[in-house]
């Protein structure tokens, strides 16, 4: 649904697309629970505005609703947060539940997006509470994409999971916050975004596991994760070797603390596999196990 432009975009061709604020939009997302939790391993949910506004401290907000149902309605949804965009292209959010996140300004708001960032700009954790993995993140690049014959900006940060699409939000979810509540960190995916009943964004996921905006395994209530319990040891790794047991996956990937892929291993047909981490810098790494027909399993390993 996207086409990347390899041309120079002029000011006349590009026009900013504001963040949605009316009931004609719908975000469909998937949250993946920890492998230690009982099945099903997934929670499917929808986010939507219902043209319900509220005034707090003289500021107008749009109420964002959430539902775990396949189809979101006003009757089965609850208000998650209040959202507004200001004149500087910053999108602010107030929690509907006190204590989930710290507020970041005098209005008790949390900065969700800043679409006025330039390449090289940083966002400091202490100032905006946007991210947990690092004290700051850096906007690496801005590209232009076409969606329904209209140019939009797509923002790439120095963390691979932080990608913002103008007028839509993050590819990990509309109110996704890295590594923390509200959408439970890295195990979240924005599958589809609709506006005016038109599909503008679609993510098929690894190995095409999301075969529709409502995946077939959700419709059929089918647990898609392996029943095997994966064993990873030693963890922390002190001797330079990490062993994985009870596997039935095709690919093992390892990511460094910044989210960059370090290695990819072909483990198809192997129930046990060991990797050498002796050359890696000390720190916390994320592993991910992929296989067609299965949802990726991820976890953390410590290299000492």
140-145: long-range contacts, CB 8 A cutoff, minimum separation 24: 142/118, 143/4, 143/5, 144/4, 144/5, 144/9, 144/14, 145/2, 145/3, 145/4, 145/5
CA 227/CA 297 separation, integer angstroms: 12
159 — pLDDT class (breaks 50, 70, 90): confident
Is residue 296 within 8 Å of residue 265, measured between CB atoms?
no
Structure tokens at 21: 């604020």
Q: Which residue has the tokens 């947990």?
A: 132
Tens of pLDDT, residues 85-101: 999 999 998 877 544 45
Q: Are 155 and 117 in contact (CB under 8 A)?
A: yes
Judge whether residue 22 has pLDDT over 80. Answer: yes
Report the C-alpha gap between 31 and 251 in whole angstroms: 22
Whole-prediction pTM: 0.72
Torsion of Cα atoms, 297 then 259 then 235 then 135, to 10°? -130
Neighbours of 125 (CB within 10 A): 14
pLDDT, one tens digit per residue, over 200-248 is: 999 998 767 899 999 988 988 766 655 567 889 998 988 889 999 988 8
Confirm if 115 and 164 have CB atoms less than 8 A apart: yes
- For residue range 107-119, what is the model confidence (pLDDT) as tens digits? 778 888 999 999 9
DSSP H or E segment with residue 169:
strand 169-170
Q: Can you say how many angstroms the Cα of residue 65 is from the centroid of all Cα atoms in its chain? A: 18
Query: What's the CA gap between 232 and 235, in Å, rounded?
Result: 7
Q: Return d(Cα 86, Cα 78) in angstroms, integer.
A: 25
């Amino acid at each position: 649904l996207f086409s990347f432009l390899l041309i120079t975009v002029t000011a006349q061709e590009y026009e900013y697309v504001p963040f949605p604020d009316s009931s004609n939009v719908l975000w469909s997302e998937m949250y993946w629970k920890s492998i230690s939790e009982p099945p099903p391993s997934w929670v499917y949910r929808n986010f939507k505005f219902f043209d319900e506004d509220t005034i707090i401290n003289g500021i107008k907000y749009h109420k964002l609703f959430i539902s775990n149902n396949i189809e979101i309605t006003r009757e089965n949804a609850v208000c998650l947060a209040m959202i507004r965009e200001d004149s500087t292209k910053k999108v602010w959010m107030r929690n509907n539940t006190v204590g989930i996140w710290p507020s970041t300004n005098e209005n008790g708001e949390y900065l969700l997006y800043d679409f006025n960032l330039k390449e090289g700009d940083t966002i400091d954790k202490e100032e905006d509470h946007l991210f947990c993995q690092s004290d700051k993140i850096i906007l690496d690049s801005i590209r232009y994409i076409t969606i329904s014959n209209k140019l939009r900006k797509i923002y790439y940060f120095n963390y691979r999971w932080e990608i913002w699409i103008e007028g839509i939000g993050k590819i990990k979810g509309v109110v996704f916050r890295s590594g923390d509540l509200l959408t439970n960190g890295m195990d979240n995916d924005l599958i589809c975004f609709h506006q005016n009943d038109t599909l503008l964004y679609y993510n098929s996921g690894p190995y095409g596991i999301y075969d529709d905006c409502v995946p077939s395994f959700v419709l059929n209530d089918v647990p898609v994760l392996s029943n095997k319990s994966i064993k990873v040891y030693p963890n922390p790794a002190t001797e330079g070797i990490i062993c994985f047991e009870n596997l039935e996956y095709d690919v093992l990937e390892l990511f460094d603390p910044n989210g960059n892929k370090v290695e990819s291993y072909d483990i198809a047909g192997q129930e046990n596999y060991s990797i050498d981490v002796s050359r890696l810098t000390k720190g916390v790494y994320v592993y991910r196990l992929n296989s067609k027909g299965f949802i990726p399993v991820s976890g953390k390993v410590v290299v000492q």
